[in-house]
Structure 1
């Protein structure tokens, strides 16, 4: 898996009850959850089979001849039933210590076939069939219809995990994650993304954030009371139920009554998300509610918003079944023009959709930070990296590789702007404050804002130039592919 793949936003969630019921034994997520180590603080559950059967998915298939939210991902495979993704996230840096996915299927995937389809090297780890992938991860057969994928590809650590997963008999994640993980069983939720935040927020950090918060500026709010509330946070969870539309609720759970946040709850959540680089446009239009110890934010995702969420949630694997054109004993011949044309057209469409989702036309909200935009660009590059390549035209593969590389370059420009702006802001702070030891608070804010604006403007200018180059490349490869295969790309 990639380093940022399961990086989860600061606040996520879903709805209603704090259920403490146990897991159903049959047809449930329990077998997917047992292999998850107890130190996980991120847990994602996807009922892939149910999502594919939703009215929303049927509408997309009817309108587009496919499901844009699922095409080219593991969710599109008809043999995939349930997916659990988990991670131990370093919440100070946003980087995972480890990541894994556990996928239950209706049949037993063939690792030799997957090796030919995905690349990699077959292995046996602690008596389990395994496949080392070229993306710093191992696939391990944990059961007849249960496949695990874990990163980093530390063979010794993978062996210990596989052994523990096969001998453990119950779910070992934290109490908060257990409470959230029952929602697919209890409410029919298609997607749950939960983040355990217990003992993460300290008093000093909470006070520092609240004191500088734009949301609270000029408001008569008891900072000490809000500090006590924020330091009691238990976790955050996002739930999505895909019906005629993707209906979602975000919940943030505290250890005490959350009524003090009622006047500013929505704005403060959006500010926290923006600071964490995790703004999704639709959240600004969602409805907020505070009940007991929990804040709820509910609404509907657009197709693009849902794609973004799914890009955070799924393991880094294409479908766990080989496409119809793939015959393991007979590598596809370059002369099979129709197969190559179809695979290439699908590949081009997927890359074009990714570019459309993250291009400069999409970066139109003033409250998005350069670091946040860079995060989505980097994640999009990784989506391109894991697109299936079987039967895809070699020139088109070169193009998609260049697009991935280009997105990473633009991502680095935006992320670098965030770092440079932070450094410039810090330097400005010390110039104003460090030499004298006195002054007024407002003196430092304007220079800090100007530093951010300057670095962001530089990144935006460079990013637009790079996207213009990618647009030119896309137009050129589209013409070439259309001429070569006599179909519209």
Structure 2
């Protein structure tokens, strides 16, 4: 969503996103949330659950009825009863995407009390800036912002939370969203797009960095684009936004906005974007089938989004599990029955754990081992964050083992690249040089001035031998990469075979212990 002047935005923006328009525009959505987002936020996620579950496809496929099951299985981050969610953060986009701070806000259809969160997760009660708060063991503060409105903030630094509340007080002037994120907010509130994820990238990279990086991108090799034009365009990147529209089907669009015309990306924009996403471990297979287009300063991909792609996208939108599970469990039918509480907590943990395992197992054929390593790291951390209160201790230990195994898989997949590089470096000088026993300029190795004519004919002989040597060396390198990938794939397959056996054994143990099914 490029920052353009008001008159142009009134005409251009609706045209650029007509595929995301829905029959009616949203009104008064995310009220009270916008003013609470700190001015230095560079990421923003907005989810309108009411619009999602009120769509025609949701009605046709019974999403509302399946909502509890999807939440229990860890597929959906939205607990039943949640109506609106806003997630914002300040991330170090240059190095590792680590969060400096993250803020989550959630509204519910019924009143919820932060006391329930403290009761369920052993947090310590507090009051910060006039709001009842609880500090949780997982480094989050959860705050009561209204009767049916909660917020979470991490890291759980009390002074930072106090400053956040004071600086974003809705009754006094506070910070403002960056223009790019404000445009994203407008799509959710004015256009009515039910799911928006936006990242402000303005001023992120220098010309030197761009020049170094584009030289390594396969998508640009042989591209008929002036280097200066491309570098200038990329330095002027404003941000990237994903929008998901849900009506008769799930449609998605990824748009990348620049300060200048993106016309030069008409032919190479799609392979370039997919390669960058793949390198960052953010690739979704559905993107391969999406159609590219350029309009003014915006490059866009859009198309259908399948169940697996939706699940992966939703996996990056995380509110603290302790908050979402607690507000749900506190009102559950068996909240005060210890045996039922243990069974329900254990089943919920099992469903969440196996859903994460299935997600990786079904998609362990990643485009590269480096990309796969990123997802294994992400999912190991998701397992570590699953709520464990009242969960069977043996299952908690099993989950910790799976998380550790995923981290081992991450190391294994990263090791494939390192091992390949090491072997290539060791064999780089062992192939034929291209000059041994060949003529170059009339000289023959070990023979002094030989009978081969001096000049082009002699040079041709040497270059031919050199090319043959390079081809041989290239073949050796390709074989090394293939061998290391095959070895890595076999090791990964062996690990998954072991995981499957241990998972089946754990399931039998739980079924026998609780006389209940664990699917």
What's the secondary structure of 2:320's corresponding residue?
Answer: coil
Normalized against structure 1, the TM-score is what? 0.81
What's the secondary structure of 1:313's corresponding residue?
Answer: coil
Kindly indicate whether the alpha-carbon contact (under 8 Å) linking 2:240 and 2:254 is maintained by their aligned counterparts in 1. Answer: yes
**1 CA distance for matches of 2:297 and 2:476?**
39
Kindly indicate whether the alpha-carbon contact (under 8 Å) linking 2:26 and 2:192 is maintained by their aligned counterparts in 1. Answer: no
Alignment partner of 1:249 is 2:253: yes
Give runs of aligned pairs for residues 20-59 of structure 1, distance below 5 A.
27-58=28-59
Alignment partner of 1:474 is 2:503: yes
**2 CA distance for matches of 1:405 and 1:206?**
36
Structure 1, residues 459-483: CA drift from partner, whole Å, max 9, x if none?
A: 5444333322221111001112223
**1 CA distance for matches of 2:278 and 2:55?**
31
Instruction: Count the aligned residue pairs.
Output: 456
Give runs of aligned pairs for residues 176-325 of structure 1, distance below 5 A.
176-317=180-321, 318-319=324-325, 320-325=327-332
The corresponding residue for 1:11 is: none
**2 CA distance for matches of 1:78 and 1:248?**
24
Q: In the superposition, relative to structure 1, how do residues 220 and 354 fare at CA in structure 2: closer, same or farther (>3 Å)? A: same
Report how far residue 110 of structure 1 moved: 1.5
Alignment partner of 1:142 is 2:145: yes
**2 CA distance for matches of 1:362 and 1:25?**
36
Normalized against structure 2, the TM-score is what? 0.77
What's the secondary structure of 1:344's corresponding residue?
Answer: helix
Report how far residue 36 of structure 1 moved: 1.3
Give runs of aligned pairs for residues 335-354 of structure 1, distance below 5 A.
336=340, 340-354=342-356
**1 CA distance for matches of 2:162 and 2:29?**
26
Q: Which runs of 5+ in 2 are unaligned?
A: 1-12, 19-24, 431-466
**2 CA distance for matches of 1:286 and 1:464?**
31
Q: Which one of the candidate residues 79, 99, 103 is aligned to 1:100?
A: 103
Q: In the superposition, relative to structure 1, how do residues 393 and 103 fare at CA in structure 2: closer, same or farther (>3 Å)? A: same
Kindly indicate whether the alpha-carbon contact (under 8 Å) linking 2:28 and 2:189 is maintained by their aligned counterparts in 1. Answer: no
The corresponding residue for 2:402 is: 403
**2 CA distance for matches of 1:203 and 1:178?**
26
What's the secondary structure of 2:220's corresponding residue?
Answer: coil
Alignment partner of 1:83 is 2:82: no
Q: Which runs of 5+ in 1 are unaligned?
A: 1-13, 433-439
What's the secondary structure of 2:193's corresponding residue?
Answer: coil
Report how far residue 115 of structure 1 moved: 1.6
Q: In the superposition, relative to structure 1, how do residues 263 and 166 fare at CA in structure 2: closer, same or farther (>3 Å)? A: same
**2 CA distance for matches of 1:217 and 1:374?**
26
Q: In the superposition, relative to structure 1, how do residues 342 and 191 fare at CA in structure 2: closer, same or farther (>3 Å)? A: same
Give runs of aligned pairs for residues 320-399 of structure 1, distance below 5 A.
320-325=327-332, 330=336, 332-334=337-339, 336=340, 340-359=342-361, 361-365=362-366, 368-389=367-388, 391-399=390-398
Kindly indicate whether the alpha-carbon contact (under 8 Å) linking 2:77 and 2:315 is maintained by their aligned counterparts in 1. Answer: no
What's the secondary structure of 1:166's corresponding residue?
Answer: coil
Kindly indicate whether the alpha-carbon contact (under 8 Å) linking 1:72 and 1:387 is maintained by their aligned counterparts in 2. Answer: no
What's the secondary structure of 2:299's corresponding residue?
Answer: strand
Report how far residue 43 of structure 1 moved: 0.8
What's the secondary structure of 2:301's corresponding residue?
Answer: strand
Q: In the superposition, relative to structure 1, how do residues 375 and 33 fare at CA in structure 2: closer, same or farther (>3 Å)? A: farther
Report how far residue 327 of structure 1 moved: 6.5
Q: In the superposition, relative to structure 1, how do residues 217 and 15 fare at CA in structure 2: closer, same or farther (>3 Å)? A: farther
The corresponding residue for 2:435 is: none
Kindly indicate whether the alpha-carbon contact (under 8 Å) linking 2:84 and 2:106 is maintained by their aligned counterparts in 1. Answer: yes
**1 CA distance for matches of 2:228 and 2:383?**
46
Q: In the superposition, relative to structure 1, how do residues 123 and 324 fare at CA in structure 2: closer, same or farther (>3 Å)? A: closer
Greater RCO between the two (CA within 8 Å, min separation 6)? 1
The corresponding residue for 2:456 is: none
RMSD, aligned α-carbons: 3.6
Q: In the superposition, relative to structure 1, how do residues 390 and 152 fare at CA in structure 2: closer, same or farther (>3 Å)? A: closer
Q: In the superposition, relative to structure 1, how do residues 62 and 232 fare at CA in structure 2: closer, same or farther (>3 Å)? A: closer
The corresponding residue for 2:162 is: 159
Q: In the superposition, relative to structure 1, how do residues 222 and 470 fare at CA in structure 2: closer, same or farther (>3 Å)? A: same
Q: In the superposition, relative to structure 1, how do residues 480 and 186 fare at CA in structure 2: closer, same or farther (>3 Å)? A: same
Kindly indicate whether the alpha-carbon contact (under 8 Å) linking 2:47 and 2:194 is maintained by their aligned counterparts in 1. Answer: yes
